[in-house]
Amino acid sequence: MNTKQNTSRKLRTVVFGSTFGQFYLEALRNMPEDFEIKALVAGGSERSQKCAKAYNIPLLKDINEIDLNEIDLACVVLRSGVMGGKGTEIARYCMENGIHVIQEHPIHHNDLSACLRVAKANNVQFVTGNLYVHLPAFRRFSEVSKHLFESKKVSYIDIALATQVSFPLVQMMIDVLPNPRPLRINNVVKDSGAFQILTGTWGDIPFTLRAHNEVNPNDPDNHQHLLHTISIGSSGGTLSLTDTHGPVVWKPQLHIPHNELLRNVTPTPELNENSTQVLGPDGPPTYQNILQKQWPRAIGKDLKAIKQFIDGEQKPAQRAHLELLCTQIWHELTHALGSPELRPDAQFEPVEVDVLKEIALTIPAEPEEVTY
C-alpha cells in the first residue's frame, strides 16, 4: 500500500539506466514544475558519470542505495525481462515499495499483466513509455489517416520497420486503425536478405509488412536500415509516413481522363494537384534536433500522463487496456518473424549528402518540376 507523504506537487523521480535514460533525464529537466530528479541509477560507465554531472544528481550503482521514502516515481529505462534485462524486476520492486513506475518498452504481455496487478495491489500507477506515438510527424499522419478511413475506401496498408521498434509500431497502428483486431498473418517470407515479409489482414484490411530483422549484438541500438514507414492506400491516393520523423506525404492517384485528346484535356482540380504533396512542414528535422528536442518532448507526454493518473486528473483504465492489447499483437508479430539474425560485423558508414545533391543536380530539372 502506498502511504507516501509528499507535500510538494512535484514528483520526486529516479531514473534507471543512462543509455536511453538520458532522454528521460532531459525530458524531466524540461518539466521542473512537475518533476524533481533525485538520482540516476546506472552501472557507472563514463556516460553515466557524465549524465549525473550534467544534471547535478547523485549517481547510484545499486537500487539498495535509494531512500525509497524519498521517491515518488521511477523511470525504468532498462531492458525488460523479455529482452533479457532486469527492467521488469526493478519495476515490480519499486511498485512493491510504493513507487509509481513508467517502464520503457517493450514488455511481454505476461509481465505487463503482472505489473498492473502489482500496481493495483500497492495503490500505484504503472505505464509503459513509447515516445514514437507522440512525435509530431506521426500525430499528423494519424489525424489525416482518420479522415481517410472515414471518407474513402482503404485498400491496403504497407509497412516497413526495424524489429527493434516493432513494439511502438503496434501502438502506432492501434492509434491509426479504426479497429486494430483481428490480426491475421497469412504468409511469412524469411529468405529475402535483410528483410523478412509478412502478409495478411490487420483489422480486415490487407497489409504487407517488411521487417529489417537483424541486430549487431555489440551495438543493438544502432544499424537499423530504417525505423518506421507506413503507407495507407485508398481509392483516392496513398498517404505515407515516409519516416518516423516525417515528412507525411500524400500521393493522389493518377486518373487519366477518358474520351479526350491529351492536348485538349481540361485541367480539372485533380489534374492540377501536385503528384506528391508534403502535408505539414516541408523540411524534416535534423537528427540533432530529433535527439535533443523531439524525443525528450515526446517522452514528456508520457511523463505528463502518468502524473495525471497519480494526481487523479485522468483515469488509467483505458490506457492499460490499450497497452495489454499492444503486447498481445506484438507477440503475434514477433512470433511470426522469429529471432533476429546476428550481424556483429555491421558498421555505420556515413554518406555525404552534399555529394548526393551534386550528383542529382547533374540531371537538369524540367520546367514542370519543382526546384527544391
- The cell for 124 is 500505484
Average pLDDT over residues 249-273: 80
Q: What is the pLDDT of residues 145-179, one digit of tens each?
A: 999 999 989 999 999 999 999 999 999 999 999 99
Are 241 and 160 in contact by the 8 Å Cβ rule? The answer is: no
- The cell for 166 is 516493432
Domain-located, residue 157:
yes
Q: How far apart are the first and last CA of the chain?
A: 60
Domain-located, residue 344:
no
The answer to whether residue 6 scores a pLDDT higher than 70 is no
Residue 231 sits in the same domain as residue 171: yes
Q: What is the pLDDT of residues 83-118, one digit of tens each?
A: 667 899 999 999 999 999 999 999 999 999 999 999
Residue 237 sits in the same domain as residue 299: no
Residue 271 sits in the same domain as residue 307: no
Query: Nearest-CA neighbor of 51 among 28, 81, 85?
Result: 28
* Alpha-carbon gap, residue 234 to 240, rounded angstroms: 11
Show the domain range for 97: 11-131+292-332
Confidence of residue 297 (pLDDT cuts 50, 70, 90): very high
H helical segments located in 250-348: 287-289, 295-311, 317-337
| Cell 483481428 found at | 182
Q: What is the pLDDT of residues 315-324, one digit of tens each?
A: 999 999 999 9
Residue 113 sits in the same domain as residue 197: no
Residue 16 sits in the same domain as residue 122: yes
Residue 271 sits in the same domain as residue 155: yes
Bridge pairing between strands 100-104 and 73-76: parallel
Q: Mean pLDDT of all residues in the chain? A: 92
Domain-located, residue 5:
no
Residue 142 sits in the same domain as residue 273: yes
pLDDT of residue 80: 80
Give the CATH number of the domain where residue 146 resides. 3.30.360.10
Name the domain count of the chain: 2
Q: What is the pLDDT of residues 324-348, one digit of tens each?
A: 999 999 999 999 999 888 888 999 9
pLDDT of residue 128: 96
Residue 28 sits in the same domain as residue 163: no
Residue 312 sits in the same domain as residue 231: no
Q: What number of helices (H) and strands (E) belong to the chain?
A: 10, 16
Residue 276 sits in the same domain as residue 327: no
pLDDT of residue 270: 80
Domain-located, residue 21:
yes
Least confident of 6-15, 35-44, 117-126, 179-188: 6-15
Cα→Cα distances 347→72, 160, 205, 217, 343, Å: 41, 21, 37, 12, 9
pLDDT of residue 284: 84
pLDDT of residue 7: 57
Bridge pairing between strands 59-60 and 35-41: parallel
| Secondary structure percentages of the chain, helix, strand, coil, to 5 | 40, 25, 40
Residue 276 sits in the same domain as residue 315: no
Residue 74 sits in the same domain as residue 196: no
Q: What pTM does this model have?
A: 0.92
pLDDT of residue 132: 98
Which carries the bigger pLDDT value, residue 116 or residue 221?
116
Are 248 and 143 in contact by the 8 Å Cβ rule? The answer is: no
Are 52 and 59 in contact by the 8 Å Cβ rule? The answer is: yes
